[in-house]
Structure 1
Amino acid sequence: MSKYEDQLIDIIKNDSYIMSILEAVEKLNLNDAWVSAGLIRNKVWDVLHNSNTPINDIDVIYFDSTDTSWETEKKLEQKLESLLPNQPWSVKNQARMHLKNGLAPYTSSYDGVAHFTEIPTAIAVRLRKNELEVMAPYGLEDLFNKIVQPTPYFQKDSKLHVIYIKRMQEKEWHKTWGDLSIEL
């Protein structure tokens, strides 16, 4: 386990709100389920900047190639809502998320996270049997060093790189966390 993974686990364990989210997701007993992206990234950046930004959404990912319906995702959001009400739940089956950017089908949640747009967002955490697990296909160095750059998929493909550039312009993270180094 890297020092950054230890730091991330400490940050999550010391946040009762995020722990309650992870506990709710674990109760769904979904295949390959994780809490990912912005909630985790923003929490780390908030800790590093001694700030507290609002929660936009709670990205819950899982992988089930036998049922890729949007309706199932909405039912899962309703179940999460019953477990932990009034939260901005967003459940996405990674078995269908490849369609968003016209890519080949993903093979797992790990593959889905590896295809996220930027490296510090390509992270996920889950709770299994009271143990926190971290998924970070590109490591946690960029996240903790406040570096934003595209994942390899969004670096190599010019069409995808345009998506990354547009996302960086829309997110305006530099206004919230002033010392981020954002590669364009």
Structure 2
Amino acid sequence: MEMENRLIAYLFEYDALMNDLLIVQELNLPQCFIAAGYIRNYVWDRLHGWGPRETHDDIDVVFYDADEPFEERDRRLTQTLIAATGNRKWSVKNQARMHIRNNAEPYRSTADAMSRWPETVTAIGARRTGDGRIELCAPHGLEDLFGMVVRRSPFFTDKDDYLERVRKKGWKAKWPRIDIIED
């Protein structure tokens, strides 16, 4: 609970992210979170003693709606966010269909889908609730985030793909204090 409170406090201190969480909340999508690099990178910047650097390539918005798993809907939602903010980094994905791309069994929820992402430290999301609180989704916990550890998710079985992804991301060059676990 201490790490959850710490992350929530960090998020409340980042005005741009809080504004983005509010805009996403207004979409009223089920099980919807801003996730992955936007949050992870911001926390790593803080832990390195830096301010927000916007080192994320995109702003991942994930939700789960098995009744409307259509890619066209995701494109429309992405364009809605771009139009609302002027930021072209938005990427909206309904996790109810992402199992197809990943050649996996259907996911049961946003948290289930996130638990299968390549790294535990990437599987972290946040959303604003109707009463202004922040709710987190972190199926592998927050220990790796605050410990600055990159490790393969226990449900991501392709070790070579994981290692290639981590190499391409160049995280160690951006955050020299992180530890990358190769197995």
TM-score (norm 2): 0.94
CA–CA separation in structure 2 for the residues paired with 1:81 and 1:53? 16
Structure 2 unaligned spans of 5+: none
Partner of 1:167: 165
Amino acid at match of 1:137: P
Question: Secondary structure in 2 aligned to 1:46?
Answer: helix
Moved more, 118-127 or 54-63: 54-63
Name the structure 2 match of 1:25: 24
Contact 2:12 2:18 in 1 (8 A): yes
Whole-Å separation in 2 of the counterparts to 1:181 and 1:34? 26
Structure 2 Cα separation of the partners of residues 26 and 112 of structure 1? 20
**Which residue number corresponds to residue 54 of structure 1?**
55
Q: Which runs of 5+ in 1 are unaligned?
A: none
CA RMSD of aligned residues (A): 1.1
Q: Does 1:138 align with 2:140?
A: yes
- List aligned pairs for 1:120-139, cutoff 5 A: 120-129=121-130, 130-139=132-141
Q: Is the 8 A contact 2:38 2:54 kept in 1?
A: no
Quote the sequence identity (%). Answer: 37
Counterparts of 1:93 and 1:9, CA distance in 2: 24
Q: How far 1:56 moved relative to its partner?
A: 1.4
Residue 113 of structure 2 is matched in structure 1 by 112
Equivalent residues of 1:46, 1:53 under 8 A apart: no
Question: Aligned pair count?
Answer: 179
The SS at the match of 1:32 is coil
Deviations 1:17-63 (A, max 9, x none): 00011000000011111100010000100100123243311000011
